[in-house]
Amino acid sequence: MNLEALLKQAMDLEKVQSMLYQGLEKKFYFSKEISQFWSGMAEDEKGHYDSILKMFNQFNPDQLSVEVDNNLYNAICKGLSELKFSRLKDVFDLHDACKLAAEVEDYETVAVFEFIHTRFKDDSRRLKVSEGILAHMNKLTSFSDKFRSVDERRRIRAIPQF
């Protein structure tokens, strides 16, 4: 697999992640704090997409044709196959939403962060993307920690019909 295919798949994964966060925003529309959080996470994913697109556009055809680790490409493909919009039907409460978000972020970490971090060690683009993804992951952890316990997160029910 080459860099071009990997980056295109990574951009597709960012789109799917944004869509899932938008769905979570709707499932918790009754809470301004919670719905705004998911909206912000969706916007972060759009920013990640834009960062990858910008990086993609800075490479020349020879650079884009360089072979990359198939394991990374397969991880992205797995994320795209498993992170479907239909997964939102399995979100019954805030705890389920946080679990789904953690899974979303795990795919992003493997697919984008690890690749960029190892492939572009001395590149300023790496630092910007890496910092953005780390801040995004910390945002999710801080949000989940606000609700202190699984029981507290379970008490905040999602809208089932979405």
pLDDT digits (tens, 9 = 90+) for 12-55: 988 999 999 999 999 999 999 999 999 999 999 998 899 889 88
Q: What is the CATH number of the domain that holds 113?
A: 1.20.1260
Q: Is residue 160 part of a domain?
A: no
- Helical H runs in 28-93? 32-58, 61-64, 70-82
Domain membership of residue 148 (yes or no) is yes
Residue 154 Cα distances to 32, 82, 130, 133, angstroms: 18, 24, 32, 27
For position 157, what pLDDT does the model report?
96
Query: How many beta carbons lie within 10 A of that of residue 52, not counting itself?
Result: 21
Which range has the worst mean pLDDT, 9-23, 73-87, 102-116? 102-116
- C-alpha 36/C-alpha 48 separation (Å) is 18
CA gap 2, 112 in Å, rounded: 14
Q: Establish if 63 belongs to a structural domain.
A: yes
Q: Would 13 be classed as within a structural domain?
A: yes
Kindly state whether residue 161 falls inside one of the protein's structural domains. Answer: no
Residue 106 vs residue 59, higher pLDDT: 59
Share of residues in the chain with pLDDT > 70 (%): 85
Domain that includes residue 55, residue range: 3-155
Residue 102 in domain = yes
Q: Is residue 162 part of a domain?
A: no
Answer for the pair 77, 9: CB distance below 8 angstroms, yes or no.
yes
- More confident position, 149 or 157: 157
List the single range of 63-77, 91-105, 147-161 with lowest mean pLDDT: 63-77
Count the domains in the chain.
Answer: 1
Supply the pTM of this predicted model.
Answer: 0.85
- Report whether 85 contacts 20 (CB < 8 A): yes
Residue 40 falls inside a structural domain: yes
